[in-house]
Amino acid sequence: MQGTPQPPKLYDFAPRLNTFRTDVIQGLQRPLKELPSKYFYDEVGSQLFDQICELPEYYPTRTEISIMQRNIQHIARALGPRCMLIEYGSGSSLKTRQLLEQLQPAAYVPIDISRQHLLNTATELAQAYPDIEMLPVCADYTSNFTLPQPSVQVARRVAYYPGSTIGNFDPNAAIRFLASIAQTCGQGGGLLIGVDLKKECNILHRAYNDSEGVTAQFNLHLLERINLELSGNFQLDQFSHYAFYNPIIGRIEMHLESLRRQQVHLDGQMVAFKLGETIWTESSYKFTLEEFAQLASEAGFRIEQVWLDTQQLFSVQYLSVE
């Protein structure tokens, strides 16, 4: 009788508590208060985001999955055999399973900031795909960390960045981040990326203001995490979720709005809020195909192939390093 398979080795570069504390305090002391969206994704936040992805209003996940399903053979051919597949912000690796089955990469490197969520998913994948070397990395993927080396020879490095998470960066930051991926993949490498497209505003509004209130819970959980880890005293019922599409800039903005004048204490610091003052927690830029091609070019990539859904709500694109 075989024993329970051992979980894959975790390469741990997770941000330390001091980094979280510094980022939170600095963000809340700015004239326009903000918190980095990467801190949504502790274990609870990651689970809430998984729930968001299944909501009827949240079109990106199911649309991207449908594009992948219809075009998976073409996508796998573009990436090539025996590659090292590096996924940034892997989460539950839901979309990745299609790639792993069709592509059979030599190694898979899921990178995520949520340690336990990552380890759980990597363990499940290791059991489901025993012939693929699993090399999970816990890290803030915008920071400096070292990629593990697979034990087998790989043909090339290919990054995977689904979900249109690239939209969470302001344009200049997006270019810098994509350029870092190009450097990581190197000559002959590539990037498979999900890119959300500009569309009718009501579709976007509903996607970030779902009727079940899961997105609001996800947003407010950031304050709950601060209370738990930084001894904060945010009263969650005194803040509300506020998300809207800014058509001039072409992005969704997600905020937490103070419902009264109040003072909040955390880690020996006092933060004052006016009535209606907000904490900016996330941006989500939307693109035309031409806008994203220009951004990718500035980062050192060339668009090789673009796959769309029939309504042209979303795109999956393959880019090669120039």
Q: What is the CATH number of the domain that holds 115?
A: 3.40.50.150
Q: Report d(CA 90, CA 139) in Å as an integer.
A: 11
Q: Report d(CA 100, CA 129) in Å as an integer.
A: 8
Report pTM: 0.93
Residue 118's CB: how many other CB atoms inside 10 A? Answer: 27
22 is a domain residue: no
30 is a domain residue: no
CA 137 to chain CA mean position, Å: 14
105 is a domain residue: yes
Residue-wise pLDDT tens for the chain (322 aa)?
444 556 799 998 887 878 899 999 999 999 999 999 999 999 899 999 999 999 999 999 999 999 999 999 999 999 999 999 999 998 878 889 989 999 989 999 999 988 888 999 999 999 999 999 999 999 999 988 999 999 999 999 999 999 999 999 999 999 999 999 999 999 999 999 999 999 999 999 999 999 999 999 999 999 999 999 999 999 999 999 999 999 999 999 999 999 999 999 998 899 999 999 999 999 999 999 999 999 999 999 999 999 999 999 999 999 999 9
124 is a domain residue: yes
244 is a domain residue: no
223 is a domain residue: no
Selection from 132, 117, 133, 121 nearest residue 95 by Cα: 121
Q: Report d(CA 195, CA 250) in Å as an integer.
A: 13
Which residue segment(s) compose the domain that 121 sits in? 59-199+286-321
136 is a domain residue: yes
User: For the chain, what is the domain count?
Assistant: 1
106 is a domain residue: yes
